[in-house]
Amino acid sequence: MSERNLPSALVITEGMLHTDDAKTAHGLIRGTERFRIAGMIDSMHAGKDAGEMLDGRNRNMPIYASAEEALQKAGKIDYCIVGVATVGGILPPLFLQIISTCIKNGVSIVNGLHDYLNDKPELVALAKEHGVSLTDIRRPKKREDLHFWTAEIFSVKAPILAVLGTDCSMGKRTTCRMIRQACAKEGIHAEMIYTGQTGWLQGGKYGFVFDSTLNDFISGEIEHAIVSCWKETQAELILLEGQSALRNPSGPCGSEFLVSGNAKLVVLVHAPKRIHFEHLPEWGEIPSVRSEVALIKAYGSEVIALALNTSNCTREEAFAFQRAYEKELGIPVLLPLEEGVEPIIPVLRSHLKTRTV
């Protein structure tokens, strides 16, 4: 479907577009096959272009000061998306008025937080009155819709690559998506399994929302998504979007992808200038990249490339970190936002060749 035929959407980030909490909005700015993003609602950054603010690339995505201004200037709008992923998944109070205004103007709402709109009687009544929908992406599936692990994962013949990180909000999903796009350009049929709400918002067909899934069924949902994708697409390569980090104490995650998802290949994402988990000293220091590579190896998987999140780095520092890690680890070190991810393609081809021999 061409972009002009996609439903149009505004994204709410009120006062948060410049923060890591707006990673949902950042993903939508970078691309989605599910919506046509018509602009952002964020009074702190009004008048700017969202793309330029994110990474210096104008994407014709204006930032509006209010819902009223956005609805007046952006043309017909079908949806308004809550564009933040807050700690604990709580809806910021300032967003409620913006959401109400959109509903009153006939706009449906899509929410990726744990704070469900359909649990707020006043919003449900307002949506019913104006004939619009409230979609809570993170609402858990019903028990009958969940899958338990079966070992069918071992029937998948394509290599499975997990994009993991040394902390949250590192750029795992963005890196994963960029690898899929680079593969497509090089004639490699790669498919991506999304594991968060933003992956679905970006148009993902295969996947589930990891952190709203009952723990007993996480392994089965990973397996079901991979197996379904491989059976239906016969992809040469399956890419898994990681969540959190193996050693983030607030929500350790990653072993499920390596063990239950049988991901034997890993691209590890790391921010050289981030010292503590979630930037919080009381949560502890992020372990070294070398130790993370060793931990992943202990699970029976191989880190085939490191990708750097260069937040707070100058361009010169970014390339210096790249050279240093390449020398230390002996694997390709990617700078996704500065150089793209194409240097990983020869490595992927070698693993595809090995698998088919």
- pLDDT score at 220: 98
- pLDDT score at 355: 64
Beta pairing class for 265-270 and 206-207: unpaired
- pLDDT score at 2: 60
**pLDDT band at 113; cut points 50, 70, 90:** very high
DSSP structure string for 292-337: HHHHHHHTT-EEEEEEE--TT--HHHHHHHHHHHHHHH-S-EEBHH
- pLDDT score at 357: 44
- For residues 87-99, average pLDDT: 93
Instruction: Dump pLDDT digits (tens) for 142-177.
Output: 999 999 999 999 999 999 999 999 999 999 999 999
Instruction: Dump pLDDT digits (tens) for 324-349.
Output: 999 999 999 999 999 999 999 999 99
**Torsions phi, psi for 195 (to 5 deg):** -135, 15
DSSP structure string for 27-93: HHHH--SS-EEEEEE-GGGTTSBHHHHHHS---S-BEESSHHHHHHHS----EEEE----GGGPPPH
- For residues 29-50, average pLDDT: 97
- Of the chain, the percentage scoring pLDDT greater than 90 comes to 96
Mean pLDDT estimate for the chain: 96
d(CA 289, CA 286): 9
**pLDDT band at 88; cut points 50, 70, 90:** confident
